[in-house]
Amino acid sequence: MSEAKNYLEAIQEEMSQLINHISIANLEEAKSCIINARKKGKRLHLTGIGKPSYVARYSASLLSSTGTPAYFLDGTEAIHGSSGQVVEGDIVIAISNSGETDELKKTLQTLKENGAIIIAITGNLQSSIARQSDFAIFAGVSKEGDSLNKPPRASIVAELLILQTLSILLQNEIGLDAQTYVKWHPGGTLGQSIK
């Protein structure tokens, strides 16, 4: 019980600190970059390695469901041909807490050579991935929330918080209304609740 309580207290502390340091200006810049690329017929992709790959999958789904079509890019497959889904001028959001994941560094190098615009979501603004990107958004924590301080917990929540906030800015920019939302969500409890 005490370990669970310690974790919840750590998450509360970490997220409170992150919220106080979120740069809305940086998120607005990312929003504008994505909107401008979309106006030119370009696409948005999200990628990560390990646990952040699941953050990328969820965020691509969330963004798509709220009016910004987005695609998951497998970070390890990208250097084996999957980077072909990204064309010049496309936006790639790369998610990495450390910003030093070897596979992701190689993927971003390939994507940059292909002409992609890179937005990094990272806990380390001095990292290789942050330096490789066109601009970076901070999503860092000082501790993960358990005694090992290794398994990604708080850092994953931080990445989700940043991407969810970006999704709100994009949703508001396109003017998503309930009618359109229900058109995209006709099934399940969610669709029924809007009808």
pLDDT digits (tens, 9 = 90+) for 80-127: 999 999 999 999 999 999 999 999 999 999 999 999 999 999 999 999
Mean pLDDT of the 58-67 span: 97
3-7, 11-15, 188-192: range with lowest mean pLDDT: 188-192
The CATH number corresponding to 2-194 among 1.10.10.10, 2.30.29.30, 3.10.20.340, 3.40.50.10490 equals 3.40.50.10490
Chain centroid to CA 188: 26
DSSP per-residue codes, 120-171: EEES-TTSHHHHHSSEEEE---S--SSSS--SSSHHHHHHHHHHHHHHHHHH
Residue in the block written with tokens 């050579």: 113
C-alpha span between 1 and 190 (Å, rounded): 34
pTM here is 0.95
CA distance 144 to 3: 13
* pLDDT-based confidence at residue 195 (cuts at 50, 70, 90): low
> Which DSSP state fits 50?
S
> Is residue 44 a contact partner of residue 72, using CB atoms and an 8 Å limit?
no
Spatial separation of the C-alpha atoms in residues 139 and 161, rounded to whole Å? 8
The model's confidence at residue 8, banded by pLDDT at 50, 70 and 90, is very high
Going from N- to C-terminal start, the domains of the chain cover 2-194
The pLDDT tens digits of the residues spanning 148-176 come to 999 999 999 999 999 999 999 999 999 99
Helix/strand/coil percent split, the chain, to 5: 55, 10, 30
